Structure 1
Amino acid sequence: MTARLPDGPDDGPAAELLRARRGGVLTTLDRLLLHSPPVAEGWNALLGALRGATTLPADLRELVVLRVAVLNAAEFEWTSHAPIARRAGLTDLHLRVLRTADATAEPVWSPVQAAVLAFTDASTRHVAVPDEVFAAVREHLDDRQVVELAVLVGGYGMVSRLLVALAVPPSDGEVPG
């Protein structure tokens, strides 16, 4: 499978910003974004912040990313983040359960993971988050973390939609930073 668009230019200031965040490499996704340097720069800033500057624990961040990938059928996103999720403490059992239709019903999650997963499902599937789901998240996360969670779900919803719309093929594994 190949992406629906060819790679964009891999030089210029936007490409250098992407390379800097990714440790010197450009991914297939980056090369597509570079068709629009201003979008690539904004994307880079937002996704860099979501991946490296929030106060959410890594296991919660990767739980969100992988669940959004499943719900939106973004295999590139799953393949890229599964190794990161394992390093963050998610087990093979967690990853298997995330791929099920009703992952929130499985008793493998800590209370905070269950609350974050329910929030992710509600926000991704229905946009609106029911009061009881929001209240469950508030039992575990402070104001900043709630904002970071909501932006993380929305941000990776954006990522998955671009990946699926442009038919970006899965990577061979983890995508850097």
Structure 2
Amino acid sequence: MARLPDTEGTGEIAARVRDRRGGELRPLDRMLLHSPQLADGWNSLLGAIRGRLRLGADLRESVILRIAVLNRAPYEWTAHEPEARRAGLGDAELAELRREKPELDARMSRVIAYTDAMTRDLHVPDALFDALRADFTDAELVELTATVAAYNMVSRFLVALDV
């Protein structure tokens, strides 16, 4: 049970959140709407990450699920597993993301190592970052980094409030 009661939210900000979510509020939204201004900024940032970046959906969802595992955020896994499956991830890939040392293709292994470094250690080794430069443009590296950072924020919010 969440540490704070749900709120439905009213007004223009709650309407924008509902619009992005297809008309429904999720438990995360009901927590955020205790502070409408925070919910508005969050909605804008996560809306961009989820729908307006060049990063592929399979990569984005793999990163999100990996963060859910690392930060012990089951709500995040449950919310994103269907998205990951729609993006083409199957049972084998999902199982690997739960492992301590996932065995994935070379590019995805580097992405997951980057996610792990940012999440666990905060510091990314130069060799790992340099290896990613061969896989991504500068804009994509910024997008990947922002995705990892944002979903660490999401998972930590969820875990702290027991959502």
TM-score, length of structure 2 as denominator length: 0.97
Q: Residue 5 of structure 2 aligns to a residue in which SS?
A: coil
Q: Which residue of 2 is the match for residue 38 of structure 1? A: 37
What CA deviation, in whole Å up to 9, does each residue of 1:59-113 have, x standing for no partner? 110110000000000101000111111111111011111111122xx2xx22221
Q: Hey, what's the Cα distance between the residues in 2 that align with 1:153 and 1:41?
A: 20
- State the partner residue of 2:49: 50
Query: Structure 2: any 5+ residue segments left out of the alignment?
Result: none
Q: Which residue of 1 aligns with 2:150?
A: 155
Question: Which of residues 139, 144, 159 is equivalent to 1:144?
Answer: 139
| CA drift at 1:8 | 2.4
Equivalent residue letter for 2:67? V
The residue type paired with residue 41 of structure 1 is: D
Conserved? CA contact 2:9–2:34, under 8 Å: no
Could you tell me how far apart the structure 2 residues matched to 1:20 and 1:9 are?
14
Amino acid at match of 2:39: A
Whole-angstrom CA distance in 1 between matches of 2:4 and 2:130: 42
In 2, the alpha carbon distance for the partners of 1:90 and 1:126 equals 27
Question: Which residue in 1 is equivalent to 2:119?
Answer: 124
Q: How far did 1:28 drift?
A: 0.9
**Unaligned ranges ≥5, structure 1:** 169-177
- RCO comparison, higher one (Cα < 8 Å, 6+): 1
Q: What TM-score, normalized to structure 1?
A: 0.90
Residue identity matched to 1:144: A
- In structure 1, how many angstroms separate the alpha carbons of the residues matched to 2:125 and 2:142? 16
* 2:18 alignment counterpart: 19
Residue in 2 that maps onto 1:173: none
Give the paired residue count: 163
CA distance in 1, matches of 2:19, 2:159: 25
Match of 1:93 in 2: 92
Shift of 1:44: 0.1
2:128 paired with 1:133: yes
2:3–2:161 contact (8 Å) kept in structure 1: yes
1:74 aligns to 2:69 (yes or no)? no
The Cα RMSD (Å) is 0.9
Name the one with the larger helix percent.
2
